Amino acid sequence: MAEPKPPSSRPPRRAAGAAQVSLRERFEALRNLPPFLRQIWQASPALTAATLALRLVRAFLPVATLYVGKLIIDEAVRLVGTGVAPDALRAALDSGQLDHLLMLLGIEFALAIAADLLGRLVSYGDSLLSEMFTNATSVRLMEHAAKLDLEDFENPDLQDRLDRARRQTMGRANLMSQLFGQVQDMITVASFAIGLLVYAPWLIALLAVALVPAFIGEAHFNALGYSLNFAWTPERRQLEYVRQLGASVETAKEVKIFNLHRFLIARFRELADGFFAANRALARRRAIWGTVLAALGTLGYYIAFAYITWRTVRGDFTIGDLTFLAGSFRRLRQLLEGLLVGLSQVAGQALYLDDLFSFFEIEPEITSAPDAHAVPQPIAKGFTFENVGFRYPDAEHWALRGLDFELDAGEVVALVGENGAGKTTLVKLLARLYDPDEGRILLDGRDLRDYDLQDLRANIGVIFQDFVRYHLTAAENIGVGRIEAMHDAARIREAAGRAMADSMIESMPEGYSQVVGRRFRTGVDLSGGQWQKLAIARAYMRDAQVMILDEPTAALDARSEFEVFQRFKELSTGRTAVLISHRFSSVRMADRILVLGNGRLEASGTHEQLLAQRGRYAELFELQAAGYR
């Protein structure tokens, strides 16, 4: 039997309930930043380069503005010393005494305007780039999800990973602005640090000592925040599920009839209150420790400010120097604190990125071989099941075991059996949504795994009992059956006619252009039977060599189902067809009936032959027939 697939090629992740992220995991998460930045660059190289260039210019504006402010103060002090009186302003202007001061004021004004303009341009560029990144990542997520095995979507753990990855397509777009802002702040810090080094080098060391505790605390609580969100992923999915149950058109009838709203609200509150309590406890600890650790940084600033003031009183620095140094130290402290906290936050967000990129590393097991063959055109012999067995991952019992039979080309075969007998599982194996754990399935004498996967599925049209109701137009609902012919109106109408859905569609206000379903304002609601006719038309749209109907007519009455299956048999001439139904009056029209029980093939034959054998088929037929007497 095949072993269950590993979640990804990355190092093993901690258990969902783990309390804390290890230091090693935090460092390992930083490996997500290069691919993240590559994706941003790929979203728009030109916009990324322009945004970075604007940030580079903007990085030098704070120190330039502060230095010009120092020059203004020194010039003002000099003018005060020359005795320029307030009532002699006009004379001072005419004499040119204020020219240098006015020039400095003009420069500072220009720098302020430039800083504001650059800030708006950067924000504008970031918003566009974030949107482009979100869209590109969402597309990549959908493309990768389409490649994964059906097993991946039926595994709760992998559903949690998909849910976390889906959130990261939007939740991490702000990381881009933060990373670019970090680069900008680093350049600004370097420029401020050069100024401080000229006057008092030891102030830089004081800053580092004062800010390290705050950085360590921020890093610790960011990691705890990620661990909390990671551990609560299943509960958050339940929250979303309960929220949808309590407020959706699909569930509204039962919620009202069974008075379920109190039950759903109570369940939602139970889950939400638990998550809220965990978040509140973390936020309280973070606020308390953050205040204590931030106070150390404030203490460091005032020690430095006192030292600079003393040096100014002693005559070592001018008033302008005092302003410049105090401002530089304050801004440098703020920037360094922001950088250290930002680095901690980046490391924390890199942990979240791990949810996204680890999802991209999940590889499907069901793929095409490098030397895959095309499906025969037409299929000459058909399918052969040789001792086929299959068990769902982590399941105790086999879904199918020891299947040996042939499905001849051009034959209409019906599958019958009680619920859980393995009928739908057999269809999934036939369409290679799963591969057998034992035995093999042959198509025209060649193993199904030797054929190109996309070509194989293109030659198989399947409508499952849990078919999707697309809230699109009626034409699109049919057209998705063969996406490359989506705009072939004649083919869509022909498929609708085959499924006996044409009159229903034409009776709608906008015909084939009518949006169906109640999700959107212009949509028209359909009955279960009408939805099923659209789904069957979708199968006919595919015009495949193998047609499979897996109980798609359950919402139809007995007469309508009989008509659909009768039409299906007529239109299946020259094609291999499989139909599954619980109504024996419908399946009796098949060329051959396969009876499944407990995952094994119990009998095979025509309706009359199976009745004569007096086995499970005859028993089920008599039970159903008795209900009509």
> In order of start, what are the domains of the chain with their CATH numbers?
23-360 (1.20.1560.10), 371-459+544-629 (3.40.50.300), 469-540 (3.40.50.300)
User: Bigger pLDDT: 53 or 330?
Assistant: 53
User: Bigger pLDDT: 394 or 46?
Assistant: 46
pLDDT of residue 14: 40
Q: Which token pair is 616?
A: 């499970």
Q: Is the pLDDT of residue 86 over 60?
A: no
pLDDT of residue 198: 65
Q: Which of 46-55, 88-97, 265-274, 443-452 has the lowest mean pLDDT?
A: 88-97
Q: Which of 8-22, 120-134, 171-185, 439-453 has the lowest mean pLDDT?
A: 8-22
pLDDT of residue 613: 83
Quote the crossing angle between the two packed helices 319-360 and 61-82, to the nearest 10°.
Answer: 170
Q: What order do you get walking across the sheet with 576-580 strand by strand?
A: 460-463, 546-550, 576-580, 412-416, 592-597, 600-605
d(CA 98, CA 110): 18
The pLDDT tens digits of the residues spanning 186-234 come to 788 777 777 666 666 666 666 666 666 666 666 666 666 666 666 666 7
The pLDDT tens digits of the residues spanning 229-267 come to 666 667 767 777 777 666 665 566 566 555 666 767 777
Q: DSSP code of 44?
A: -
In terms of C-beta density within 10 A (0-12 exposed, 13-18 middle, 19 or more buried), how is residue 353 classed?
A: buried
pLDDT of residue 39: 80
pLDDT of residue 512: 87
CA triplet 453, 458, 460: central angle to 5 degrees? 100
- The pLDDT confidence band at residue 460, using thresholds 50, 70 and 90, is confident
**Nearest Cα to Cα of residue 416 among 580, 556, 611:** 580
Round the average pLDDT of the chain to a whole number and report it: 76
pLDDT of residue 601: 85
Would you give the distance in Å from CA 383 to the centre of its chain? 38
- What is the percent of the chain where pLDDT is above 70? 69
d(CA 463, CA 454): 17
User: Bigger pLDDT: 299 or 87?
Assistant: 299
Tokens 């000099």 correspond to 78
Secondary structure (H, E, C), 568-627: HHHHCCCCEEEEECCCHHHHCCCCEEEEEECCEEEEEECHHHHHHHCCHHHHHHHHHHHC
Q: Which of 114-118, 328-332, 363-367, 601-605 has the lowest mean pLDDT?
A: 328-332
In terms of C-beta density within 10 A (0-12 exposed, 13-18 middle, 19 or more buried), how is residue 406 classed?
A: middle
pLDDT of residue 15: 39
Q: Is the pLDDT of residue 16 over 50?
A: no
Q: Which of 275-279, 344-348, 407-411, 424-428 has the lowest mean pLDDT?
A: 344-348
pLDDT of residue 469: 81
pLDDT of residue 10: 40
User: Bigger pLDDT: 118 or 207?
Assistant: 118
Average pLDDT in the 462-471 region? 78
User: Distance of CA 78 to CAs 71, 84, 315, Å?
Assistant: 10, 10, 15
Q: Is the pLDDT of residue 374 over 50?
A: yes
